[in-house]
Amino acid sequence: MKKYKPPKPDELLPIEVILDAGLAEFAEKGLSGARIESIASRAKISPSLLYYYFDNKDELYLSVLEYGFRIVFEQLGDKLKLETDFMNSFGSGFMSTYEILKANPNITRLLLRECVDGAVYLKKLREKHPEWVGSNVRVMVDKLKVAINAGLVRNVDPERTIALATASIFLILGAGPVLQLMNISEDFNDDPYLWFSVVIDIFANALRPS
């Protein structure tokens, strides 16, 4: 049951305003450190109005997580549909994911925090959208299977190969400070774009038919 009276018509606002504010707050402080009052302040609304849209912080957090995933997967899905060849899809999909996450750094931070905290809400999100969460991964797995059957790439485990490639995207984006500390050469560059290119080359060479 909602505890607050419905807002006046002139107080209603696009739900994305609250979700964007929540994304920034949760990405910065995590679920435990975030405060409803702070999220309301970011959205320039009263806490009571925020509670009109969401019953509690957990509900808001799950909605924010879903919101972030939709941004990534819907944009990426549109790009993957443009390529029919697996290797072209793999390279463009990898780099497209990087571009989407680069444009939305709070999504990367939120997902990394969620994984460190045990991915409890990611599991809830998967239960809520079993057909949606892994849709782009399934597209790539199916394309890889077609390429394997055609003899265009090595006979590898399609599911684990795509899962590992997908996970490496977030690992690279989250490893920026570590890459800076490594300073492996005088011309070292920690630009994630270059690291993504290296990973694509590694996967491409590993998948070449022997």
127 assigned to some structural domain: yes
Average pLDDT of the residues in 68-89: 76
Same-domain status, 197 and 128: yes
Q: Residue holding tokens 């993957």? A: 80
**Residue 12 pLDDT class (50, 70, 90 cuts):** low
Q: Output the domain CATH number for residue 30.
A: 1.10.10.60
Same-domain status, 100 and 143: yes
Same-domain status, 8 and 83: no
**Residue 39 pLDDT class (50, 70, 90 cuts):** very high
How high is the pLDDT of residue 102? 81
Question: Could you tell me if 69 and 170 are in contact, meaning their C-beta atoms sit under 8 angstroms apart?
Answer: no
Same-domain status, 93 and 192: yes
85 assigned to some structural domain: yes
114 assigned to some structural domain: yes
Same-domain status, 42 and 94: no
How high is the pLDDT of residue 42? 95
Number of domains observed in the structure of the chain: 2
How high is the pLDDT of residue 1? 43
How high is the pLDDT of residue 27? 94
Same-domain status, 29 and 76: no
What is d(CA 39, CA 43) in angstroms, rounded to the nearest whole number? 6
Same-domain status, 101 and 127: yes
Q: Output the domain CATH number for residue 191.
A: 1.10.357.10
**Residue 38 pLDDT class (50, 70, 90 cuts):** very high
Helix pair 57-80, 36-43: axis angle to 10 deg: 50
What is d(CA 120, CA 14) in angstroms, rounded to the nearest whole number? 28
pLDDT at 62 over 50: yes
65 assigned to some structural domain: no
120 assigned to some structural domain: yes
Same-domain status, 12 and 92: no
Report helix, strand or coil for 187: coil
Average pLDDT of the residues in 115-139: 81
C-alpha to C-alpha distances, 136 to 23, 126, 157, 190, nearest whole angstrom? 22, 14, 17, 28
185 assigned to some structural domain: yes
39: containing domain: 1-55
- Model confidence pLDDT, tens digit, residues 146-202: 889 999 889 999 999 888 888 887 777 777 667 667 666 666 566 767 777 788 888
How high is the pLDDT of residue 142? 87
- Model confidence pLDDT, tens digit, residues 92-112: 777 787 788 888 889 988 988
How high is the pLDDT of residue 125? 87
* Cα 39 to the center of its chain, rounded Å: 21
Same-domain status, 25 and 80: no
pLDDT at 29 over 50: yes
What is d(CA 18, CA 127) in angstroms, rounded to the nearest whole number? 24
66 assigned to some structural domain: no
Same-domain status, 92 and 165: yes
Same-domain status, 94 and 192: yes
